Homo-oligomer: A and B are copies of this chain.
């Protein structure tokens, strides 16, 4: 056993862990990072980065096909092999060595291995014992959940890891779970030419987002040829050679060459040594507004592992909260775009971009909202987008406080529309002032102008 001492020990080198370590090291602290898989984390290699690489070329080509003048120039299908090659470039062929210099430049010590707590301010990695003089940050993330379906584990199912990194496209893919991962990857594989069957136990896809978003994505995936089966639970799975057969509750079957399980995530709390500091293993780890574990002034938990908002961008945000607090520069603030209201973009076609409340969460929170729905392309700017492009912009107005408390925008390439809404929600900019922020003509941002027209402002 070799013992070393650092100001802060960060367990997990995903986006959250990296940002936290970087901020602390740049402030002059002595920092160690522990990672047993890839520096860069799930996001860089098996989630956001490769999935968007699989999605964007198809989305772009679909939009070009909808626009007169451009569509005539297109004669062939999406080149799936080229898409996969570009994906491989973006995930560096699963080699994380290019991420290491970023740590080295900041003097951050990297320990490769499974990090686990061994009592207060102590982390063990293989033969090394790391003493944390100030704090330990757990940033270990989540893993795909594998639901207890008969035969599933034995059927060699794909998780997001295999689906985002596959070298060959299966002819037929069955997807279990119609949340964000299942919907995005159905879109990706469907656009690349795979026949996809998408199974969702709930009544509808994307159950956490506005119903209209689900309807539009459902219609679009159906047009793409995805066979969507909602309100159906898989009861058993059976693989025979190259074929996997999923039996559903109604007795029907779904047959594929591969089966992707996308039924949610579970926090990776096993082998973290939580029991050595008296934290019950199993669920997400509760933290306060600075991402610190109540009662443990040395322990922070950021990213997926605290369950607040399972997004790369929120992990990076929490990394700033934690490192700021450790450095004596706390920045936590109470606002609507944290936790379940965190900004989120689903890269289907139409894309779904949302921040703050949905109609359902506002009702659950007891906030009376005025709902304003507008067609995202129902303005001059929208006339340059493909006429087949669906899209709705929903704004939720708290009339009592005269602020926007939620927005959901669907449409072609609307991912970057969201930040305006996020600033309005987080900034709590009063409607009377927001009215003076004039969207340029002719852009689809005129949804904001139409919003104020509807509000009589």
Residue ranges of A at the interface with B (Cβ–Cβ < 8 Å)? 15, 43, 48-49, 52-53, 56-58, 60-61, 63-64, 67-80, 82-83, 85-86, 90, 311-314, 316-317, 331, 333, 335, 337-338, 342-345, 353, 380-381, 383-384, 413-420, 422-427, 429, 432-446, 448-449, 457
Contacts and interface: CB of A to CB of B under 8 A. Distances in A.
Contacts of A313: 438-441, 446, 449
Contact of A316 (B61, B333, B417, B449): B449
8 contacts: A61-B64, A72-B79, A73-B76, A73-B77, A316-B438, A342-B438, A353-B440, A422-B438
Contacts of A83: 68-69
A441 B15 contact: yes
Contacts of A418: 439-440, 443, 445
Contacts of A67: 56-57, 60
Given A418-B440, A445-B416, A331 B429 contact: no
Given A48-B380, A52-B384, A73-B61, A429 B440 contact: no
A416 B353 CA distance: 14
Given A79-B72, A445-B415, A433 B427 contact: yes
A241 to B, nearest CB: 31
A331 B435 contact: yes
Contact of A64 (B52, B64, B420, B432): B64
Cβ-closest 3 pairs across A and B: A57-B69, A69-B83, A72-B79
Contacts of A419: 417, 420, 437, 439-440, 443, 445, 448
B442 A312 contact: yes
Contacts of A58: 69-70
Contacts of A52: 381, 384, 442
Contact of A82 (B69, B312, B417, B427): B69
Given A343-B440, A440-B353, A423 B416 contact: no
B429 A49 contact: no
A435 to B, nearest CB: 7
Contacts of A338: 436
A64 B70 contact: yes
A82 B429 CA distance: 43
Given A317-B436, A419-B437, 13 more contacts: A48-B441, A58-B69, A61-B69, A74-B74, A75-B75, A311-B440, A316-B441, A331-B432, A343-B440, A415-B443, A418-B443, A418-B445, A426-B437
A424 B423 CA distance: 7
A362 to B, nearest CB: 19
Contact of A416 (B344, B422, B425, B444): B444
A449 B69 CA distance: 36
A423 B434 contact: yes
A72 B60 CA distance: 13
A72 to B, nearest CB: 4
